[in-house]
Amino acid sequence: MAQVLEFKLPDLGEGLTEAEIVRWLVEVGDVVAVDQPVVEVETAKAMVEVPCPYGGVVTARFGAEGTELPVGAPLLTVAVGETADGRPAGDGSGAGTAAADGARDGASGGRESAAEGSGNVLVGYGTSQAPARRRRVRPAAPAVNGRSRAPEPVRETRPAGTPQAAPGARTGRTAPADGPVPVISPLVRRLARENGLDLRKLAGSGPDGLILRADVEHALRAAGTQDRTETTAATAPAATTPATPAATGGPARSTAGAASVTRVPLKGIRGAVADKLSRSRTEIPDATCWVDADATELMRTRAAMNAAGGPKISVLALLARICTAALARFPELNASVDTGAREIVRYADVHLGFAAQTERGLVVPVVRDAHTRDAESLTAEFARLTEAARAGTLTPAELTGGTFTLNNYGVFGVDGSTPIINHPEAAMLGVGRIVPKPWVHEGELAVRQVVQLSLTFDHRVCDGGTAGGFLRYVADCVEQPAVLLRRV
């Protein structure tokens, strides 16, 4: 007899409590193998394909695309084992067919997973024996020509009130009614979802009907024009009617005033950033010190490195190399505070986070073992992680576990900042833009490449003398890169 196992949303990483369903990769009635990806979800940190630890036939899915589920909530159920007639679950085509072979493979995988567990490990599942919990299985579908049929797929319907594609959308090939909608990137899919645009009603102008960002933006502009016209006609008579606090759940405001206010939900990556920054400000007594430095020699050193051939070295990589050298001299700043135990935890290894701005918001990828890397290796890793951040493909492991953060806000054209520490770390080095400025060099006024450096630190882990010594050493290395040769 087939056994129905429930697969719940696993813990996908540190501190993640929920995830949003972006795209289902299987339908009800599909045969799945052990560790086959079944759904693509978006957490506050990354896009993740979630593999199923069971093999068999999908009997139910929980949640439509765009639904947020908490960790531990049911994702889908899978029938594993054999049906009453002795056939593997999902065997609906008889011997010799591909569907039957797939069903047998899936059922076999399901039996093995029930005994041994899945080999694809995510936090919270995949390593232990399958649960012994049983559920009643629906009666098999009527036989056709002596063969049983797999259950018909159950498809979610679009909730009432979801906006249709806007009039005036670009012409092209319309997405199929069933299966995933072809979209050029997850960022475009998210843009449509946040604005309530049904991608299945949108004609893509890309190859084979691929929906591009321009298609979504065009549809949203057309919808906005129509909505403004309808809203003006509908709200004009009630413009002078005040709203009561009981009706609005807040201070009284006029309908006309409310129409000009936009409320943006704090969820996803924006919500995670808000929670983390708020916690940092609440728990960490931070202080900031800063200094201007002459970066002319650093820029000349970089130019000489790049002129020698090989991969180009980035300024960020040189600053990271200086950072790791400074942390070796001042290990107090490569630390965190365990408030429960009232202890300072110092780390021997430097896992260097760096701030990266993306369309989804600010993320902090982590370069593992940065203290063991040279400038060339650091450049390559920065480039790889930055590209993954912009594509939204960073894994939770690449976004957690940092011990110190390097924040290059100079790319925004600003000189200084007092950043908020990336909790639970103890310090962050900020780097402003490098620009020509008047500077006294060797007793004479000259135009030099000047940068402002700032260090924000947790005053619990060290005093101002340590923080000042760290920042002064960084500035000395920026002004005279040969200082680093002492420890090479």
Q: Which residues are tagged catalytic?
A: 459
CA distances from 373 to 25, 316, 317, 332, 488 (A): 39, 13, 10, 21, 12
CA distances from 71 to 19, 67, 231 (A): 7, 13, 39
Tracing tokens 């369309």 back to the chain, one arrives at 359
290-324 b/e with 16+ CB inside 10 Å = b?
Answer: beebbbbbbbebbeebeeeeeeebbbbbbbbbbbb
Residue 99 identity (one-letter amino acid): A
In total, the chain counts a number of residues equal to 488
In a 10 Å sphere around its CB, with 0-12 CB exposed, 13-18 middle and 19+ buried, how is residue 262 labelled? Answer: exposed
Q: In whole angstroms, what is the distance from residue 333 CA to residue 287 CA?
A: 13
Q: In whole angstroms, what is the distance from residue 113 CA to residue 110 CA?
A: 5
Cα–Cα–Cα angle for 27, 52, 81, rounded to 5 degrees:
80
Residue 26 identity (one-letter amino acid): V
Kindly calculate the radius of gyration of the chain based on its CA atoms and give it in whole angstroms: 28
